[in-house]
């Protein structure tokens, strides 16, 4: 291995573990009802929504072959499964993969 790869691994590891360590130290003083915590929560959900919308509208990889209609149907059905399963993330994730495979294979 070249020295640059070792340095890159060390720097990224340090950055990762330093941020986790600082998060652990400061987690006691953060209240879940604070405005700052609510803002970060909204920011995380907005980022997730943007990524999902980007995947549906501008797909990459194998999703390019899927039609917009099939992607939209899978998302709507997965949202339905999400709410039916009392907001469990596992069931809609598995359902979406299976239903996308079925829709692309047969329709």
Segment 12-68, tens digit of pLDDT = 999 999 988 988 888 888 788 889 889 988 999 999 989 988 988 898 888 888 888
Question: Is the pLDDT confidence value at 107 over 80?
Answer: no
Query: What SS3 class is residue 69?
Result: helix
45-84 per-residue burial string, b: 16 or more CB within 10 A, e: under 16: eeeeeeeeeeeeeeeeeeeeebeeebbeebbebbeebbee
**Residue 11 has what pLDDT?**
93
**Residue 104 has what pLDDT?**
86
**Residue 1 has what pLDDT?**
59
pTM of the model: 0.58
């Amino acid at each position: 291995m070249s020295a640059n790869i070792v340095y890159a691994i060390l720097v990224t590891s340090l950055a990762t573990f330093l941020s986790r360590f600082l998060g652990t130290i400061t987690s006691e003083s953060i209240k879940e009802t604070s405005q700052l915590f609510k803002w970060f929560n909204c920011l995380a959900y907005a980022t997730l929504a943007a990524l999902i919308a980007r995947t549906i509208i501008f797909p990459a990889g194998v999703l390019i072959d899927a039609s917009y209609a099939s992607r939209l149907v899978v998302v709507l059905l997965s949202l339905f499964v999400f709410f039916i399963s009392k907001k469990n993330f596992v069931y809609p994730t598995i359902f979406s993969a299976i239903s996308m495979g079925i829709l692309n294979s047969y329709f």
